[in-house]
Chains A and B, each alone.
Chain A
């Protein structure tokens, strides 16, 4: 390594640009997704999943707590799974995950498109994709 010091530069000395902000966002949103998925998993177990669902269905609910994901299980009453609370959790998970994912696509695209114009187009497309997928996803969560 030519500059081994740069590898352990404390986070507080790295400055704060938009790119560094997104670098933080990628890592913190990963932790947030872990927390939200764990939350969904615990919520399912509290609502009786251990007697009424198999493990695959519990995980499907945990990864996206939307009621359509448990309609094929033995859960007797869907009402507790369709509350505003779970719609909000599902919406938060959707928005965090799609922002994390779309930013990841921009990072990958930047490895293949080095020109300023191309990178601008990539960013424009990423915003269009984030807004449209986010809006359609929220609509599905809200109406299902």
Chain B
């Protein structure tokens, strides 16, 4: 049994889910990013050797650090928002305000950290 959506790719790309949809898809990207990172990190620690050294050089690259920090920080803050709203369902009506608060916390923290990572990565 295949999955039939009756929605073209173009329609999907133009989907106007807006704020909540953006957090939904970024939560998935963040979770997948961390899942792949943690799994390969555990395996490379276990295996060691050339594979471990290569993967460690990837993890120490500043571009990767910005990506994985984005994954972890966004997933953590967005996950806390989901947890609070889900465990107290009456708060769901304030979902949009909660998402604005979430961005207000995320952007400065991520911005400062990303700046430090780039400055260090470029020889600071």
Contact = CB atoms under 8 A, between A and B. Distances in A.
Q: Are A and B co-members of a single complex?
A: yes
B90 A8 contact: yes
Contacts of A11: 87, 89
Interface residues of B, number: 25
Contact of A114 (B1, B28, B72): B1
A34 B80 contact: yes
A9 interface: yes
A140 B45 CA distance: 8
Contacts of A98: 38
Contacts of B99: none
Contact of B35 (A10, A101, A113, A140): A101
Given A10-B89, A68-B45, A139-B46, A108 B32 contact: yes
A108 B28 contact: yes
Given A30-B80, A137-B42, A105 B89 contact: no
Interface in B16-39: 28, 31-32, 34-35, 38-39
Contacts of A104: 31, 35
A113 B3 contact: yes
A8 to B, nearest CB: 5
Contact of B42 (A8, A27, A140): A140
A18 interface: no
Interface of B: 1-3, 28, 31-32, 34-35, 38-39, 42-43, 45-46, 72, 76, 79-80, 82-83, 86-87, 89-90, 92
Interface of A: 7-11, 27, 30-31, 34, 63, 68, 97-98, 101, 104-105, 108, 112-116, 129, 133, 136-137, 139-140
